[in-house]
Structure 1
Amino acid sequence: MAISKNCESTTRRDCLRLGLGALIGGGLIDALRVRGQAAIPSARPMSCILIWMDGGPSHYETFDPKPGAPAEIRGKFKPIDTAVPGIQFSEPMKRLASIADKFSIVRSIRHDQGNHGAGNHYMITGAPPRIPVGCGAFVSFHPSMGAVAAHERGAAGGLPPYFSIPSMLRSGGPNFLGAKYAPFVVPDDPNSSSFRVRDVAPPRDLAEPRVGDRRGLRDRLDHFKRFAEKSAGDPALALDEYYDQGYELMSSNQAQRAFDITLEDPRIRDRYGRNSFGQRCLLARRLVEAGVPFVTLNEGGWDHHVSLFDGFEKRMPAFESSVAALIEDLNQRGMLESTLVLALGEFGRTPKINKDAGRDHWSNAMSVLVAGCGTPGGQVVGATDARGYAASERVLSPENFAATVYAKLGIDPGKMLYTPSGRPTFLVSDPTPIRELMG
């Protein structure tokens, strides 16, 4: 796991929390290092909402049913027709089936990383891990797509450019790009009546005048000789930018409005679903609307080794209805052409149902939903074999997937990055986008 430490094994985060960060309340400065620096063009830039189905959703029970396979492979659910003649999804995907003309499904991405830690890294960064990693590992050998978007694009109105809701992905960090391109995490539940984003407003027990007093104290401290000399490399001085960003976020009307989900029409909120995931989807739309280029919704619970069918019956109706509502809402607002919506996990599931009525890890096949940013609707890219064992037509890689995301966001997937030591690193080793998705 990539954590920036000094030679005494103290993280910069610890310094912020234990040192000057206490002046305005701990976690604020730490979270706000994600603020990007790039200018935003006048036209609406492309943004991405990545719905990460952590654990690896089954391709059989979502977008790649196999009705002709034996019972121990095809499973409990039947295929259903979609809005596009000739395309079928699995039975739990009813709402998405009804709007299948609005997005594409890729059925033929495969890789060789069959555990959660490695699979997560490969799909989120477009780069395979450099060494074997365990299932529970949080690893970072390459910047995540969200961090790259933050680095290349920045954001407007005092908002950070990269969000991860309600938690950060295992490999969602910035690696050598630097900690200020890490995601701003919003752990609180927007479906709660007490929803309040930490650090976007002063703490409840800290009145506005006291915030100003604390900033004034910092300003006075800056006149001390050590600070006034502005020595190059002084770590205390390096914090100034993060404090300024913190105050800017707390004082930004655009930021306050983006997070105030109560401003939405109750009927819109109902359409997304009055549940945690549904309201997170709505919050993601509001953040993109406010100029944020990359939002990740980290939704775990898809590692169905046991009771897969019961799990899908309980969870999928609300989940896929919220995804459909997001796509429809973006389309109705004229935002789908500038917003890329992705739904995927780290891999698919095994062809044969196991003794516990579940499916196990399987990286030879997976399905990915892609909508927006000029993606043609109503198509399926690639195919798996008759029993869903492996991608067999138009076989694609995580590199092709990452290159597609970057190309759609206006970032050159063939770009060369440089580590702090000057070592050159390709953004994506194979910068070939999936041509069928490029419109």
Structure 2
Amino acid sequence: MNASLRSLDSLSRRQFAERVAKATLGVTLLPHVLKGQAAADPKSLPGFGKAKRVIWLQMIGGMSHIDTLDPKTGATKGPSDPIATKAGYQLGGYLPTLAKDHSEKLAIIRSMTSKTGVHASGQYLMRTGYEQRGTIKHPVLGAWAQELLGKSSASLPSTVCVGRAPESGNGFFSAAFSPLPIHDPEAGLQYAEFGAPKEIINKRLALLNEVDAGFRAKFHDTNLKAYTDFYDDTLKLLSTEDLNAFRLTEEDSAAREIYGMNKFGQGCMLARRLVERGVRFVEVAQGGWDMHNDIADGMEDNGSLLDKGLSALLSDLQSRGLLETTMVVLCSEFGRTPKINSRNGRDHHPKVFSTLLAGGPAKGGTIYGASDAEGNAPADKQVTIQDFHSTVGHALGLDVNQIVMSPSNRPFTVGDKGTIIQEVLA
């Protein structure tokens, strides 16, 4: 039998394996087995490791794909007319600068889909690539990168989140992998100034260390050590010039105006300052996208903030020679319904929505996948959030097939076994 099996061609061997699996293991295991064989060496796929850093722009509330990245005509058209771009596709009418100056830099995925239509769960899924569970917390991509690649800077944190709390972004990894939270980019790093002379601070720390020494000797816990290391790293940051990365006041006021004098625009500028100095992963969150009412007014406000901030970020990164090695990600937890409701708004719609990649290995001027004519469902090349995470992780140089065991001895991978979308990478 072995000789006859070896004589089969590759397709026949696959058919044989499928029949065996159906008879013995059930059909759910096999696709992952075959997929793992097909992508045994992700480093050979396009774009691997070409992004040395990622700026992750998460629009909280459910950004309308029809009014931004996947405009439609007819009954589902938004309140603004689509804009033609040099790259040959259209963008929503609220993104004029992005359409005019940056369309050839963008890789847009118009066939994203999810089963999660609740804000908190959807945001968790988009941030981590995993469905929310009560028994475990999953890491964000920045924490994954620190686990697989090590720290990105001697003094700066490897991951920073701007405009939101860290929300256990380290997941099941060490507390030392937690994102550093910056609530207000203009305020910078909270408590960054010493309230006492360094000599006094050092004496207090020595006393604290003496008090804690007995406890640490008795309880050899990795999380306890992680918190100790976190404090040490924080003090190291406070005593270096890298602390200036968090100070937007060092920027020219005219340059700040280009980004927009609001939390999102200034958050994008802060992200540029941070990745320029060695932070690997920066998340910038912007709320206000839950437009159940008066979507015209909501898009006028938020669309303008997005267009100005993202456009300035792409121009700034390019002028500084950083865009080729920095991937910019634009995403949201889901889209919004094609049909305008009775309150002139759009409701939650996870069935299809859009995301955007730019910089790094992102293949500019690319549209991947499509929604149907109404923007109601994927019509071609359906993409899951797991696929999206695997693609960004791959670009960042993470082996998405590498299994990492959690403290509870459960196996996990970047993107939860998603498929790398090779067509959007170069």
Q: Tell me, yes or no, whether TM beats 0.5.
A: yes
Structure 1, gaps ≥5 residues long: 1-42, 132-138
Structure 2, gaps ≥5 residues long: 1-48
- 2:113 is paired with a residue whose SS is coil
Q: CA deviation at 1:344?
A: 1.2
Q: CA deviation at 1:319?
A: 2.6
Q: 1:96-245 counterparts in 2 under 5 A?
A: 96-98=98-100, 99-130=102-133, 141-153=137-149, 154-168=151-165, 173-190=169-186, 195-203=187-195, 206-218=196-208, 221=211, 226=214, 232-233=220-221, 239-245=227-233
Larger mean CA deviation between 238-247 and 181-190 belongs to: 238-247
Answering whether residue 60 of structure 2 is matched by residue 60 of structure 1, we say: no
Instruction: Find 1:332's aligned residue among 319, 324, 336.
Output: 319
Q: CA deviation at 1:259?
A: 1.2
Taking structure 1 as reference, are residues 304 and 409 closer, same or farther at Cα in structure 2, changes over 3 Å only? same
Q: CA deviation at 1:273?
A: 1.8
Given that residues 174 and 226 in structure 2 are in contact (C-alpha distance below 8 angstroms), is that contact kept between their aligned partners in structure 1?
no
Distance 1:410 1:207 in 2: 42
Q: For residue 88 of structure 1, what is the aligned residue in structure 2?
A: 90
Identity over the aligned pairs, expressed in percent?
35
Give TM-score scaled by structure 1 length. 0.80
RMSD between superposed Cα atoms in Å: 2.4
Q: CA deviation at 1:219?
A: 5.1
May I ask how many residue pairs the two structures share in their alignment?
376
Q: CA deviation at 1:262?
A: 2.2
Taking structure 1 as reference, are residues 233 and 270 closer, same or farther at Cα in structure 2, changes over 3 Å only? closer
1:356-411 per-residue CA deviation (whole Å, 9 max, x = no partner) reads 01000001111111101111111211111111111111111111100001101100
- 1:388 is paired with a residue whose SS is coil
Q: Which amino acid aligns with 1:52?
A: Q
Distance 1:267 1:233 in 2: 50
More helix by share: 2
Q: CA deviation at 1:140?
A: 5.8
Q: 1:352-367 counterparts in 2 under 5 A?
A: 352-367=339-354
Q: CA deviation at 1:156?
A: 0.7
Answering whether residue 410 of structure 2 is matched by residue 423 of structure 1, we say: yes
Given that residues 156 and 279 in structure 2 are in contact (C-alpha distance below 8 angstroms), is that contact kept between their aligned partners in structure 1?
yes
Taking structure 1 as reference, are residues 390 and 159 closer, same or farther at Cα in structure 2, changes over 3 Å only? same
Instruction: Find 1:314's aligned residue among 301, 319, 324.
Output: 301
Given that residues 399 and 430 in structure 1 are in contact (C-alpha distance below 8 angstroms), is that contact kept between their aligned partners in structure 2?
yes
- 1:51 is paired with a residue whose SS is strand
Distance 1:126 1:230 in 2: 37
Q: Which amino acid aligns with 2:144?
A: V
Give TM-score scaled by structure 2 length. 0.82
Larger mean CA deviation between 427-436 and 88-97 belongs to: 427-436
